[in-house]
Amino acid sequence: MIHVYMDDLRRCPSGFTLVRTVDECIELLRISEVDILSLDYDMGPGEKTGAEVAAAIAREGLYPREIFLHTSSMAGKKSMYEILYQNKPEGVILHNGPIPFERLDEIESMARRSARK
């Protein structure tokens, strides 16, 4: 399982696979088993948004085990949350905010241990 971080500008946290476009994110969700997904909303001027990823997840049943919304756009966060929440299967954890620092530290530690093996 992989962790995916979709953002056009921010630095990718350790232990995550970075995707910079909506299409790249959707494709990765289609071909990979995703454990944690963290979504931005605004992906740059004239680009598709995180709401399109949320819609594809709901439409195609591409739900990862856990989803975080790290966008600074309140309207975008609301839009993504509503799309994902209305359709999410039982057992999927949806957070209306970013990954807590403590959790990021845990993921980074796990990634380091895996890299040493």
pLDDT digits (tens, 9 = 90+) for 6-47: 999 999 999 999 999 999 999 999 999 999 999 999 999 999
The residue assigned the tokens 């921010």 is 10
Task: Specify the amino acid at residue 52.
Answer: E
List strands edge to edge, sheet with 66-69: 17-19, 2-6, 34-39, 66-69, 93-94
Name all domains of the chain by residue range, CATH numbers in brackets.
2-116 (3.40.50.2300)
pLDDT of residue 114: 83
Q: Are 48 and 74 in contact (CB under 8 A)?
A: no
- State the amino acid at position 26 in one-letter form: I
At residue 116, the pLDDT reads 80
Q: pLDDT band for position 115 (50/70/90)?
A: confident
Beta strands in 16-58 (DSSP E): 17-19, 34-39
pLDDT in tens, 50-78: 999 999 999 999 999 999 999 999 999 99
Q: Please give the model's pTM, rounded to 2 decimal places.
A: 0.94
The pLDDT of residue 18 is 98
